[in-house]
Amino acid sequence: MEKVQYLFILRIEFDPGSDQMVKKHVFQSQEVAEYEKKRYRNWDQRLVDRREKKILQTYLSKIESHCPLLLDLPCGYGRFISLSLTWGYKVVAADLSPAMVARALQRGRVEGVTEGVVLDALLGLPFKDESFGLILAMRFFHHLHQEEERKMVLHEFWRVAQKDMLLSFYQENIFHRAQRRLRRWIKRSPTQIKMISWGKFHREVSEMGWAVVEKKALFPGIHSQIIVWLKKSKPES
């Protein structure tokens, strides 16, 4: 029997006067197609893509989970779906963009992705406590510019996770910051990312009930991205 895919859309009402309208760009269908085509086309970005997947592969080989559900948030166009499914997880693809979720479901159609959710993580996650054996949160944290935003998302991840999370963030790096400024000037890109120190990151995750198991730099000293394996612990009082 052919598998049926489900796309659940939560209709979120935004306050037009709030900062959230400025910070968030919701990709439309044509933009998703262009983004997927161009994002990892250049040689340096292909290296990034391969390195990210290699690090995730290493972590996935070490994680033991008795729950097969994996929350991929933000799922984007589904770049990590095949890798997640290879390790036996059933993926729930979630993103702020309906077009991104639809594309992720399309990519995973023959591989077993059956559910997608359109949501804004800053407004809470529509899942029961401890629903997921693993949370995958790649390339999300550096778009959260305020500490209270990061903590709120970490709290929601803690609530819906059973034990483990793989999360990436951008650590303060002078070389990478200069590189990004140059790229923004050349391409006139409006995108801004938030880099934070390791100490600040460690404090925030600890306060929200996460313990660092292992961390790996994408390209030490050159690239700011760090991919961290976290486990649930008791939140610090």
CA distance 96 to 21: 12
* Cis peptide preceding 74, ω within 30 of 0: yes
Per-residue pLDDT of 207-230, as tens digits, reads 999 999 999 999 998 889 999 999
Q: How many C-beta atoms lie closer than 10 Å to residue 219's C-beta?
A: 13
Can you spell out the DSSP letters for 116-127? EEE--GGG---S
CB 218 within 8 A of CB 225: yes
Domain extents for the chain?
Answer: 6-11+18-232
What is the value of pTM for the model shown?
0.84
CATH topology of domain 6-11+18-232: Rossmann fold (3.40.50)
Distances in Å between the Cα of 142 and the Cα atoms of 34, 86, 88, 136, 178 are 22, 27, 28, 14, 16
Query: Of 221, 219, 203, which Cα lies nearest the Cα of 211?
Result: 203
CA distance 51 to 161: 25
Chain centroid, CA 145 distance in Å? 15
Question: What residues have CB less than 8 Å from 11, skipping those under 6 apart?
Answer: none
Residue-level pLDDT at 237: 59
Report strand pairing: 225-232 vs 90-95: unpaired
Question: What residues have CB less than 8 Å from 28, skipping those under 6 apart?
Answer: 97, 99
Q: Is the pLDDT of residue 65 over 80?
A: yes
CA distance 212 to 205: 8
Per-residue pLDDT of 78-120, as tens digits, reads 999 999 999 999 999 999 999 999 999 988 776 666 689 999 9
Residue-level pLDDT at 180: 60
Q: How many C-beta atoms lie closer than 10 Å to residue 34's C-beta?
A: 12
